[in-house]
Amino acid sequence: MSAPITAEEHWIKGTAKTRPSRAKKETSTGVFTAGRPKMPRDFSPVEEAEWKRVVKGLWKRRTVCAIDGSALEVYCRMFAAWRRAMDEGNYKQAAQLATHVRMYQQQFSATPASRENTRPAAPPTPKEKPLPPGMVRI
């Protein structure tokens, strides 16, 4: 049997109980900068209304970034498909779509249970106005 190694040697070899890659990192705000994603132009009225509703709520909480646009697009299209299935009475398909809609809502912290772990994004950087010719910013 080999001699036991110290905690420092475990750390060096990467065999420590808590690896650096799994250690929890404490940050006050997210890495991404807050920003409003652009709504796709080919949305139906249902998709457009859901986009505006969700983005408005996420913007108030400062938890939406411009990079979230593609995931929001998929969510809104899935939400519209769920509404269409409900209106047509296709409840089996609606139940399947509802599961996916709920999963996307959790990703955006739009459910009561998922809201607790949400951190706000960093505030957007203010745009500086250009100075007149001959002026220098101090």
pTM of the full structure: 0.63
Structural domain for 104, as ranges? 45-118
Residue 81 lies in a domain: yes
Asked if residue 93 is part of any domain, the answer here is: yes
Q: How far apart are CA 39 and CA 1, in angstroms?
A: 64
Classify residue 138: in a domain, yes or no: no
Residue 29 inside a domain? The answer is: no
Residue 20 within any structural domain of the chain: no
Write out the two tokens for 135.
């002026």
DSSP state of 60: H
Q: What string of pLDDT tens digits covers the 138 residues of the chain?
A: 667 777 777 767 777 665 555 555 544 455 677 788 999 999 999 999 999 999 998 888 888 888 888 999 999 999 999 999 999 999 999 999 999 999 988 888 777 777 777 777 777 677 777 777 877 777
Tens of pLDDT, residues 86-115? 999 999 999 999 999 999 888 887 777 777
Closest CA to 128 of 115, 116, 118, 138: 138
- Asked whether residue 129 is domain-assigned, the answer is no
- Decide if 137 is inside a domain: no
Q: Report the SS3 class of residue 46.
A: helix
Total structural domains within the chain:
1
Residue 54 lies in a domain: yes
